[in-house]
């Protein structure tokens, strides 16, 4: 009987360990605490830490090792965009989802160009949070067509004029163009009548050829280099 209890205890411990760690930076106390509660009610995710500022973001990242970061843009001391730049100097893999009030704010574009994986509007964060996290972990990004157009406008003034195609196949070019329009994996699958796993394979190939890690980086590089 004792061995059975011990086995059950180990199983519970393994389940907790397997949860995806989420780190939160949000200076609004009510929103921060609500996000912590929501994440900790999930069977797939756990809140690794929640802070009202990102002054110690690198030490937090090292100590807590999250897979996803929810990052407010406007915070005292150091804003979210500055934090993203610091994170990307030491970690290219962690997914960073910006929390923002407006999706037409230039700060959103600056954050994406700095290396953020996408953004989440605060007014929708409770109903769309888990979908946004899942999409990011699958290599996609919560990125609307509106923001994609803003990225294009932003990069139009900084483009080097390069026209390299990075050896993308015609199908990869079509899918990259869909990513630029803000399509998610499911919409690409339906639009091109191909399987979800096939979409994921094409996008992995695109990322490898462009030498990027996520959808927002792929969109930025595609527009800057006039690939699409």
3 state DSSP class of 73: coil
Kindly state whether residue 142 falls inside one of the protein's structural domains.
Answer: no
- Taking each helix axis from N to C terminus, what angle separates 185-192 and 196-210, rounded to the nearest 10 degrees? 110
**Structural domain range at position 105:** 2-137
CB 49 within 8 A of CB 23: yes
Residues 115 and 68 in one domain: yes
* 99, 122 Cβ separation under 8 angstroms: yes
CATH of the domain at 176: 1.10.10.10
223, 180 in Cβ contact below 8 A? yes
- Residue ending a domain, among 103, 137, 171, is 137
Same-domain check for residues 41 and 122? yes
pTM above 0.75, yes or no: no
Contacts with 214 (C-beta within 8 Å, 6 or more apart), sequence order: 95, 117, 118, 136, 139, 140, 141, 207
Cα distance between residue 80 and residue 25, in whole Å: 8
Nearest to 66 by CA among 54, 75, 79: 54
Q: Pick the last residue of a domain from 137, 172, 203.
A: 137
What total of structural domains would you count in the chain? 2
Residues 170 and 90 in one domain: no
Which pLDDT does position 88 carry in this prediction? 92
Composition of the chain by helix, strand, coil, percent to 5: 55, 10, 30
What is the C-alpha R_g of the chain?
19
> Quick one: which of 147, 172, 186 has its CA closest to 228?
172
Predicted confidence pLDDT, tens digits, the chain (228 residues)? 444 444 454 544 444 457 899 999 999 999 999 999 999 999 999 999 999 999 999 999 999 999 999 999 989 889 999 999 999 999 988 999 999 887 767 788 788 878 888 888 888 888 889 988 988 887 777 766 566 666 666 666 655 555 566 889 999 999 998 888 778 888 899 999 999 899 999 998 998 898 887 777 787 778 777 787
Question: What is the Cα–Cα distance from 132 to 93, expressed in whole angstroms?
Answer: 16
Residue where a domain stops, chosen among 137, 159, 182: 137
Quick one: 20 and 132 in the same domain?
Answer: yes
């Amino acid at each position: 009987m004792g061995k059975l209890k011990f086995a059950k205890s180990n199983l519970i411990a393994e389940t907790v360990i397997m949860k995806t760690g989420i780190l939160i930076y949000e200076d609004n106390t009510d929103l921060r605490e609500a996000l912590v509660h929501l994440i900790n009610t999930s069977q797939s995710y756990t809140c690794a830490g929640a802070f009202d500022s990102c002054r110690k973001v690198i030490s937090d990242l090292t100590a807590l090792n999250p897979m996803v970061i929810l990052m407010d843009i406007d915070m005292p001391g150091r804003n979210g965009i500055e934090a993203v730049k610091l994170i990307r100097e030491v970690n290219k893999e962690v997914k960073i989802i910006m929390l923002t009030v407006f999706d037409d704010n230039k700060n959103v574009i600056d954050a994406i160009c700095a290396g953020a994986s996408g953004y989440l509007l605060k007014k929708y964060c409770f109903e769309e949070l888990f979908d946004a996290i899942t999409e990011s972990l699958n290599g996609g990004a919560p990125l609307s067509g509106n923001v994609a157009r803003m990225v294009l406008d932003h990069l139009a003034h900084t483009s080097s004029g390069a026209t390299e195609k990075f050896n993308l196949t015609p199908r990869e070019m079509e899918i990259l163009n869909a990513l630029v329009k803000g399509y998610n994996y499911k919409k690409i699958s339906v639009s091109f009548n191909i399987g979800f796993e096939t979409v994921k394979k094409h996008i992995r190939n695109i990322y490898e050829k462009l030498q990027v890690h996520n959808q927002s980086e792929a969109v930025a590089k595609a527009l800057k280099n006039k690939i699409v």
